[in-house]
Amino acid sequence: MTAHHDATLADSYNFAYLDEQTKRMIRRAILKGVAVPGYQVPFASREMPMPYGWGTGGVQVTAACLTPDDRLKVIDQGADDTTNAVSIRKFFQRTAGVAVTESTVEATLIQTRHRIPESALTAGQILVYQVPIPEPLRFLEPRETETRKMHELEEYGLIHVKLYEDIARHGTIATAYAYPVKVEGRYVMDPSPIPKFDNPKLSNSPALQLFGAGREQRIYALPPFTHVVSLDFDDHPFEASKAPHDCDLCGASDSYLDEVITDDQGGRMFVCSDTDFCRVRQEAGHLGAMAVPNLAGSA
Amino acid sequence: MSDALLGGFEQAPLQSSNAFRAALAVLSQPGEIRELQGALPPAPLSVAAGVLLLTLCDGTTPVHLAGGHDCAAVRDWITFHCGAPLVGAEAATFAFGDWTALHPLGRFAIGQPDYPDRAATLIVEMATLTATGAALRGPGIAEVAHLSLPEIAAFQANRALFPLGFDCFFTCGVWVAALPRSTRVEAV
Ligand SMILES: [Zn+2]
């Protein structure tokens, strides 16, 4: 058996698409990532039957972790029903035969693009992030040899300078997504383009968090109960901000909201970005400002 | 049929996926003990150590066999089932043996300052393995966990090297636990 099956053979013989040697390589990288939280482990990313923007790094980490007993949830910016999420979910149903769910609570493994679910994650769950640019220092220093050196020497002054320039220019830290964090007082890490509203959920989570970057060929990890701090300053402490509204469908005041244009007259509404969270709340009878007429109309 | 041909995974993709999840669970939650089944390696290799070998090792991962583990039966079994090259301690990605046989520990790779992942993983065969004894704190542990480590000082010295250092799995029969280099260890 070789690592170079054609696509048809791969589909029929390889659990979760990847051949065993590739999965072993990815699994070893994941274990080293767990052993050194926040450090980016290089791995030999494989071609996947989907474009890079579709989360090939996350898909490879998920493929290496899945067992036939898993219940997989896939979300794209909080939603289970986008093309990207549906495609990835179908891919693993077909290649690994796993059960799937939209319920955060019932899922054993969740692959996500750009959000952390609102419902608290629990022990035993794995959250796999799709990461476009894993290196938090890349926009300060394009050379890999240099950023590696900066991590080695804990030379993180430049990234603080960048955040402080935000404050000087805007009066506040303007970075709203992919807000950098420090892991266990050692490595500065890019949490992927989640809104900074989600940053506090990175820390001390009972779930295992794994990060996969396909094009950049990096895997990193946050074991459960890892201490994660968003970078900030004494005079400008980190704030996990969100739109100052309640969800118009479920009334939640504490969830991350998307602004949705509802008509061409400038109508708009704010709804939970986490579609499962919003649906569960509505089913439990929680109604937002714009939910009642809809429900009455459909009854 | 030679014994070396027996005792491997019968359904490698499924058995290795289940075994990896157990290995991932114990390494990401130091002190946790899980079961590893599915391989029947020759003595003195335990079932759990044999399963780790089949799950993680192949022709790209040099393996060191320490002490009594460096015997013809184990060498042949690894060569047939994994194809892993057998090497001295200094060149090993994975090392298998009893705690005393693995000494001196300074021989094993602890990674490089810019690539701390290039460090050895030690699979330490134990006579007993229980969630008692040394106090463990750090990533993966809510407050404190306990594990029957073979000693304390070596793991404190290894932690002092962080982010460099080796990582350990402990195996006993079908049972496995782990201690990544990030864990802070204290005697109780
Ligand atoms: Zn809502």
Q: What is the pLDDT of residues A51-106, one digit of tens each?
A: 777 899 999 999 999 999 999 999 999 999 999 999 999 999 999 999 999 999 99
* The one catalytic residue among A65, A250, A251, A288: A250
Element holding A166 (H helix, E strand):
helix A157-170
The pLDDT, as a whole number, for residue A13 is 63
Given 1.10.3720.10, 3.40.50.11310, 3.90.226.10, 3.90.1300.10, which CATH number is that of A20-138+165-230?
A: 3.40.50.11310
> Which one, of B76, B171, B35, B17, lies nearest residue A67 by Cα?
B17
Q: Which two tokens stand for residue A174?
A: 């303007």
| Nearest of A155, A159, A156 to residue A140 by alpha carbon | A159
Using CB atoms, pick whichever of B17, B138, B163 lies closest to residue A39: B163
Task: Report pTM.
Answer: 0.95
Query: Of how many residues is chain A composed?
Result: 299
A215 burial via Cβ count (<10 Å: 0-12, 13-18, 19+): middle
Of A38, A57, A212, A288, which residue is the catalytic one?
A38
Q: Contacts of residue A148 in chain B, CB cutoff 8 Å? A: 114-115
Q: Domain range spanning residue B36?
A: 3-186
Who contacts A296 (Cβ-Cβ below 8 Å, separation ≥6)? none
Q: From CA A65, how far away is CA A26, in angstroms rounded?
A: 9
Amino acid identity of B92?
A
- Here the tokens at position A191 are 């949490």
What are the extents of the domains in chain A? 20-138+165-230, 242-288
Residue A7: the pLDDT is 40
| Confidence (pLDDT) at A1 | 36
Q: Which pLDDT value is given to residue A50?
A: 83
Domain count, chain B: 1
Asked if A253 reaches chain B (Cβ–Cβ under 8 Å), the answer is: no
Judged by CB atoms closer than 8 Å, whether chains meet at A31 and B167 is answered as yes
Residues in chain B within 8 Å Cβ distance of A34? 24, 27-28, 140, 180
CA closest to A146 among chain B residues = B114
DSSP sequence for A97-124: --EE-S-TTT-SEEEEES---SSPP-TT
Contact with chain B for residue A16, Cβ under 8 A: yes
CA A101 to chain B, closest CA, distance in angstroms equals: 20
**What distance in Å separates the CA atoms of residue B42 and residue B49, rounded to the nearest whole number?**
11
A65 is catalytic: no
Give me the pLDDT at residue A292, please: 62
Phi, psi of B77 (to 5 degrees): -65, -45
Q: How far apart are CA A28 and CA A44, in angstroms?
A: 11
| Smallest Cα distance from B69 to chain A, Å | 22
The CATH number linked to B91 is: 3.40.50.11310
